[in-house]
Structure 1
């Protein structure tokens, strides 16, 4: 996996005795945010994702609880635990991802560089491997 295709980014935060404040602004994420969505109430034995994107970059944050992201570039798989709301996982285009092992109360925030377009998704792993071979 190349460092640029997947990496953890520290989200700036302000510490305060009343509670911390995390800030995601234009300099934190290296793309213009075109869509925001979040996953919640995911059963612990379920998984999400199971796809790659042709164009979209994604930034995932565990706002609450924890979950694992299995990333795959067609050659190597890596498992990354997200469990801190001040750290996000940047996933560039062309990287297969699966999200699993959600803790109770986990919330996964996703910031995306594109609006939803079904044709932009690669949902079959064999199609993904052919896409990577191009």
Structure 2
């Protein structure tokens, strides 16, 4: 498993009837999909995320609208703007991530490698630094 987040370009198919983008586990994305959720109706000044994981990998796709994702894996800090349903962001467990700057029409799809487990979350930045430094 890689320990660095990356952008995954998703293929867009379509004709005069419209467009279609396919996401397949262990093909388009590098893991089994165990959980799917989406974030929407988030005000632009609200920040979501603000955590990392011990084991869960995630893929984020702005299927509508846009948002900014801040990433920190103790080696690098960067921001990624998600603004296309054909651009996915792979988050590794060691990515402290925060989503913000949501457009009013943003729907952020999240595909996760594990079911929800509150013990998998690192919610304190100091603990994150302790675990991943």
Q: Is the 8 A contact 1:5 1:93 kept in 2?
A: no
1:4 deviates by 5.3
Query: Where does the alignment leave 5 or more consecutive residues of structure 2 unmatched?
Result: none
Change (3 A) 1:55 1:4: closer
Runs of 4+ in 1 over 6 A off after TM superposition: none
What is the aligned partner in structure 1 of residue 11 from structure 2? Answer: 12
Residue 15 of structure 1, CA deviation = 2.1
- TM (norm. structure 2) is 0.95
The match for 2:97 is 97
What is aligned with 1:76? Answer: 76
CA gap of 1:49–1:72, structure 2 versus 1, over 3 A, is same
Q: Distance in 2 between matches of 1:5 and 1:16?
A: 35
Equivalent-residue separation in structure 1 for 2:3 and 2:124 (angstroms): 24
Q: C-alpha offsets along residues 39-98 of structure 1, whole Å, 9 cap, x if unaligned?
A: 000001001000001000000000100000000012321000000001100011111000
Query: What is the correspondence of 1:43-62 to structure 2 with a 5 Å cutoff?
Result: 43-62=43-62
Which whole-Å CA distance do the structure 1 matches of 2:95 and 2:8 have between them?
Answer: 17
Q: Name structure 1 gaps, 5 residues minimum.
A: none
Q: Is the 8 A contact 2:65 2:104 kept in 1?
A: yes
2: distance between equivalents of 1:115 and 1:54?
13
Q: What are the residue-to-residue correspondences of 1:82-121 with 2, within 5 Å?
A: 82-121=82-121
Root mean square deviation of aligned Cα: 1.1
Give the C-alpha shift of residue 36 in structure 1: 0.2
Counterparts in 2 of 1:47 and 1:90: CA distance versus 1, 3 Å: same
In the alignment of these two chains, the number of paired residues is 131
